[in-house]
Structure 1
């Protein structure tokens, strides 16, 4: 009995120490909120800078429900743990930021904690916004306070237990969140540092391009090594690997064009990245676009081996793929996968075709591929969806044909690959 009591005491001490560590890790660096009243913005230049920063962060896209008032919240963000609903960022005094002062807003960005003390869910990317400077936070606050107040109530999150609890969130944050600040790298130029500040911070590129574990996290939440976007089943390719989406070998002008116009020589954006260009990067200043391009071009290079065809494919599958390609694809992409300049991308040698993960190809065939409308391409060409036209076996066959033709040597796509990517995506 004495031995058992001793072990129970030791377990109790361990649990208490763990709980104390979790609490400390969640409050470290936080200063008490001031009781200053909310400030009405008056400086037009600060408001305009805040508007530009909100565009960099693509804040309106998440904080605007379909058909709803801008920034009034209500959009559901599906996660593997349930649905998180974006909050109302208008200055409404009951449901929005009307009672928030600039200190409370800064605490939300920097510490991931709401005005009332609640820990925020990381669907709001505070692992990135913690790097935003206080000056930029105040400019964002001034812009949001200048918006029309919308009395739109916030929707309660619909999360599974225990992910819905503050205790579980506190443990997650203790493991994966560290409040910080951007530290300029003196060995790099001011332009590089500006690009790093944007990419790592408010633009939160790693929210999609970081690989995630079962808890939706990474030991380095600023990692850009690529990963499958949960539930969307689009693959955000590595920004370090030139065989995926690395830009180390691109001219700066082409990188700028890709983010400003949605396309560059031999490349165009589609899927979730098309939404980013549509609502955010095409509206950046030329200075910020070039800074981002400078930083992305200088990312450490990871040279991956060339793609190889590993799985044997029955000849009947290859024959079916060639037949389907001729029926549905060749009119736009060409008999030899050469594409049409400024209209339809080439498939021969296309690195999106050759990536190890076929996720983006499957999603494009299922749901269509559409570039963003930009000033340079106001009426872009698109690809229709084949969700109701082709079976999983058909899609696997035609994609295998594309990945094995015209010098392409990527692995085959199986019917099971298509089933997995189609069946688990929430839309």
Structure 2
């Protein structure tokens, strides 16, 4: 195990070196009190593990770790800190990746063992598997394919890391400025502290995505970050691509398009109430509605009323406040002289509007229903 130490305290460096050299299979490549020089040497050499002090002059240790991981994402970093364990939790650091000063030999041995196991696990990964595609689902429930056909919920160390990942995912392939991320996630923090929060969150994202190899890559640009994904099938991206390939509708595309619409089983990032998700959620909803109305109207124009009714009912079920679908159903039932179901549809719409919006249906629907009742009475 090839090791480099970075700490601005010479005595702490020497002490840690002595403790490490008592252990088997440790090769010391260097120790540095200057973090900038240390970073240069780390990037030059074939290093397995860095012991990195959090409190450094010129640059925060977490920020330095982020810069190193950008260039060497497979390197293992152990943070060293003078803070007690309670204070370390405030840094939101993974317990696997830090040791507290003064360093206790038993604790150091455990840390080295954990790092060694992680290295062995990484080396055993079949590189051919990294070339295979995996699926990431963001419609309804967020799950990721951990083995062929097996899915699990993505687990995040902090809620901020989770939101940051989803924001980068939504803007995948685009530069997202650090200033925008700070304003989004930490608007209440002081500027001298907020960057540590950002770098910590990015660090946790990298650790969470580590088992998936190079499928997820967070590029660190001067102004911000770019998330690139490869060999990852994103369900929402796949769904939209299939849908757009079937529009505009033709008679031969009706059935395939209906099948694609059925795959839209829940809204985009449905589990989360992030305000910035709403525009994308609304865009996808409009795509679904546009295609759903097109199919329903095609059936209606062809006189296939049972299929048209099923399609409009599907719209009402997916989007209970979609008034035009209820109105279309009322008109179809009217054409079929099914007065009871005209009444029933209007009652259902009235109930849902009252329950969800605390108001009556739109004026033009109320007027249509009034006029229909008058005409029905005169028949």
Bigger RCO of structures 1 and 2 (CA < 8 A, at least 6 apart): 1
More strand by share: 2
Please, what TM-score do these two structures have when normalized by structure 1?
Answer: 0.26
More helix by share: 2
User: Larger Cα Rg: Structure 1 or Structure 2?
Assistant: 2
